[in-house]
């Protein structure tokens, strides 16, 4: 299932598993649907960036302990997956716009 993140400044969809991870990194429960009010977006953006830095450090440590065989199955980093969310939060914070998310029924 896909989850759609939507705001007046932009929108995108991602797989539910990744969306739940992003929502948790923003400091929210992984409840779908949900929203961040425009007044709270700046604080959420800061929390999200801090969480991403912590997860990225952990991923780097995990990669350094993997064998060559495990590296062949390299996964997509959290920073790459988080890019659309990060950009949406930055734009929403700049314009103090609400960000909402819900299951994307259109693409199912």
Q: What is the mean pLDDT of residues 28-44?
A: 96
Residues of the chain above pLDDT 90, percent: 73
- Asked if 4 and 102 touch (Cβ cutoff 8 Å), the reply is yes
Cα–Cα distances (Å) from 100 to 4, 10, 58, 65, 69, in that order, read 8, 11, 29, 38, 40
pLDDT in tens, 98-108: 999 999 987 55
Q: How confident is the model at residue 22 (pLDDT cuts 50, 70, 90)?
A: very high
Phi first, then psi: give them for residue 100, nearest 5 degrees. Answer: -120, 160
* Per-chain mean pLDDT for the chain: 90
Domain span holding position 38: 2-107
Number of domains forming the structure of the chain: 1
Partnered with residue 12 across adjacent β-strands are 5
Give the 3-state DSSP-derived string for 83-106, with helices as H, strands as E and coil as C.
Answer: HHHHHHHHHHHHHCCCEEEEECHH
Tokens representing 43 are 């604080």
């Amino acid at each position: 299932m896909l989850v759609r993140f939507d705001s007046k400044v932009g929108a995108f969809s991602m797989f539910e598993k990744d969306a739940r991870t992003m929502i948790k990194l923003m400091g929210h429960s992984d409840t779908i649907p949900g929203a961040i009010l425009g007044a709270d977006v700046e604080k959420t953006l800061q929390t999200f960036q801090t969480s991403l830095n912590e997860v990225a450090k952990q991923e780097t440590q995990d990669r350094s302990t993997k064998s060559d065989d495990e590296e062949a199955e390299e996964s997509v980093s959290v920073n790459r997956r988080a890019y659309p969310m990060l950009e949406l939060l930055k734009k929403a914070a700049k314009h103090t716009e609400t960000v909402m998310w819900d299951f994307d029924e259109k693409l199912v």
